[in-house]
Amino acid sequence: MEKIRGWEQETLVKELHQGYELTKQLKHHIGPLTSPESCEFLVHKIISTYDRALSILNFGDSAGEFQQVAGTFEPPQPLTGGSPMSEASDQCHKDAYKKRKTSPRWTEQVRVCSGKGTGDDGYTWRKYGQKDILGANFPRAYYRCTHRHVQGCLATKQVQKSDADPSIAEITYRGRHTCIQSPALASSGKEFAKQKKDQCQPHLLEENQIPLFNFGTGFKTEEMGIMEETFPSFSFPSSPSKSQNVETISFLEPLKEKNFLGSDSLEFLSLLEFPIDNFGFGEDLQLSESDLSEIISAPTSVTNSPTGNLDFFSLDQVDFDPNFQFDTSEFFS
């Protein structure tokens, strides 16, 4: 069995505890006088909690699939045979490793400003390795989310300068951010926009500048298959035209179809639908800094989920506090 590090165990316990508390809350909500919306909300939170716990136990993105098909409570692999910490066969270990390698992965090509070659994307990353890659002129740098230990965020990214043009860095993201970026870090995102406005020469901001949230040219994902399977009606524009400048991701549609959401939930969740290009900081920066700050500090994982799973509206981002008490009147009054 792959060893579980201290912080992982801590996070695991926290997540399982939260799942337990939420289930208790759900129990109280089940009854003739309670709204189905609040139950659904709790169910989503519980699923997200177990999703993170399963991720730590090497179910990797499979847990995400589990979450995506919230209607069918069937994890990809049974958790039978005692505690998760118990010994497992080598084969099981290898399977787990393979699953981990299938976590969401997508690549962006970013033209970087001089001095900062890591592609500031509003998240805070911590470098944990660098490797010379065969046939590449530049080493590949490995980053993971700064909040990995604290919040168990498993997002990582690899940054490699292009051989042909050192001013272009290919950034491969892997895994979703499950962390909450602090306001201070959100201001780093602000800095990101400011940097674009003030420091970069205009010619550096043209078509190759593909920062986070921009699903246009230069962006590719290896998870389209999964997404297609999960949300057949969901698609990214493969070659966006100018007329698609204000394109709305209707990630709620599949949920409406599957009757996951009641009308009240939809009304609330619709607030999370947004014109996607506003997040691209596209060619002509349309956002004010206050807008940008609002967006980046918004505690949703909408900002980093091209996989199109339910994390798009994962309200569990609201808190990580095991003592969190959910008051439905706040949301569904």
Q: What does the binding site for DNA look like in residue numbers (CB under 7 A)?
A: 2, 5, 93-94, 97-98, 101, 124-135, 140-142, 144, 146, 156, 158, 174
Q: How far apart are CA 48 and CA 157, in angstroms?
A: 22
Nearer to DNA, 27 or 126 (CB): 126
Sequence-ordered list of residues with C-beta below 8 angstroms from that of 296, at least 6 positions apart, any chain: 122, 181, 186, 189, 190, 303
Cα distances from 106 to residues 31, 172, 194, in angstroms, run: 43, 6, 26
Nearer to DNA, 132 or 198 (CB): 132
Nearer to DNA, 134 or 271 (CB): 134
Nearer to DNA, 220 or 256 (CB): 220
Min dist CB 142 to DNA, Å, is 5
Sequence-ordered list of residues with C-beta below 8 angstroms from that of 115, at least 6 positions apart, any chain: none
Token pair for 121: 């994307």
Nearer to DNA, 134 or 164 (CB): 134
Min dist CB 117 to DNA, Å, is 11
- The phi and psi torsions of 244 (rounded to 5 degrees) equal -95, 15
CA angle (174 as vertex; 146, 229 as ends), nearest 5: 140
Min dist CB 189 to DNA, Å, is 16
Among candidate residues 210, 183, 216, 182, the one with its CA nearest the CA of residue 196? 210
| Dihedral angle sign, alpha carbons of residues 237, 124, 174, 54 | negative
Min dist CB 220 to DNA, Å, is 15
| Dihedral angle sign, alpha carbons of residues 149, 61, 92, 88 | positive
Min dist CB 126 to DNA, Å, is 4
Nearer to DNA, 40 or 108 (CB): 108
Min dist CB 158 to DNA, Å, is 6
